[in-house]
Structure 1
């Protein structure tokens, strides 16, 4: 697919870009929340839900990039996601991790004009690190987090969560987030070229 000319790395967004930001952030959030609700059934399903959400949202992210012409929109999407999950109950560090992941993804995607396959796939992998804010508190305030889970979900659920999400698993999970994200990005690119572009939607 040819790479359209990019308008540069300015932060002057168009109304269409801001509308696209709102729409695709909403779609991303609905998919993320829907799959993560599986975790309420059993902690192991949290991993399954997070993986499925990251894979499916690869399509959401790649469609979003077809509307991006200026640097900063990926960062804004990540920041909005961080704020939304913080409002929903995550630790405020989620805002920090989202901002860092968003900036890094923005820089990477911009190297290919927000259109080239490899930079956008890698960018989505890095973008997915925004979710690490939900896991990092388990490394430095574990007792407090588990106490809250016991209050909300009950002892059995909290014990299963504690056994599954050891510090070593948390670190591997954060690394795996990037890998799964890149797979999701590749799926998104394939869907873009096979279906959405042919249908004139991208």
Structure 2
């Protein structure tokens, strides 16, 4: 790739913004299942499936370095602005750099590596629950202010190191299903974009 073909342009940034908004809206809609505390544990799994086609289509449209990192950081930054702790964007940045590295190995045009990059990206939402283990008091304070004491106490009983492991495993499984679903639904787009 020449430098001009690898540099992000205004239209790429617009595409990142549009897809970022779509991704966030879908994440928020799926996140409504979290009003029932036990279902909050399955939130990353379910959204891993839903988000697959969105992110894979985005990767087909913008095959340039750092596009995925910028796209992937939009939601965590919004979450932080809405009251989540710094852990969310911090974990997201590390996760997105790993996903970017995977995508780079595939030269941004490998469907296999793009799918793997998405599976890694799908674990970002786990940081929402990870806050309860790493920054417990702060997270409980924020949750109680937003959802009430009863909800907070119910969620508190569910969060443990073991359950957090299941949450991450679920996110990987959901991301894998989402990646394959995206591949199936968007095959024509991949062929048109020259992704194999």
TM-score between both structures, scaled by the size of structure 1: 0.84
Q: After the TM superposition, which residues 111-190 of structure 1 pair with which residues of structure 2 at under 5 Å, given as runs?
A: 111-190=105-184
Does the C-alpha gap of structure 1 residues 23 and 166 become closer, same or farther in structure 2, counting only changes over 3 Å?
Answer: same
Quick check: 1:62–1:188 contact (8 Å CA) kept in 2? yes
Q: Which of the pair has the greater relative contact order for Cα pairs under 8 Å at 6+ separation? A: 2
Partners of 1:51 and 1:160 in 2: CA distance: 20
Partners of 1:182 and 1:91 in 2: CA distance: 27
Partners of 2:6 and 2:73 in 1: CA distance: 15
Gaps of 5+ in 2: none
CA RMSD of aligned residues (A): 2.6
Aligned match of 2:16: 21
Does the C-alpha gap of structure 1 residues 117 and 8 become closer, same or farther in structure 2, counting only changes over 3 Å?
Answer: farther
Gaps of 5+ in 1: 1-5
Partners of 2:39 and 2:177 in 1: CA distance: 20
Partners of 1:156 and 1:63 in 2: CA distance: 40
Does the C-alpha gap of structure 1 residues 183 and 141 become closer, same or farther in structure 2, counting only changes over 3 Å?
Answer: same
Does the C-alpha gap of structure 1 residues 37 and 115 become closer, same or farther in structure 2, counting only changes over 3 Å?
Answer: same
Aligned match of 2:86: 92
Does the C-alpha gap of structure 1 residues 75 and 9 become closer, same or farther in structure 2, counting only changes over 3 Å?
Answer: farther
CA shift, 1:79, in A, is: 1.7
Higher normalized helix content (fraction of residues) = 2
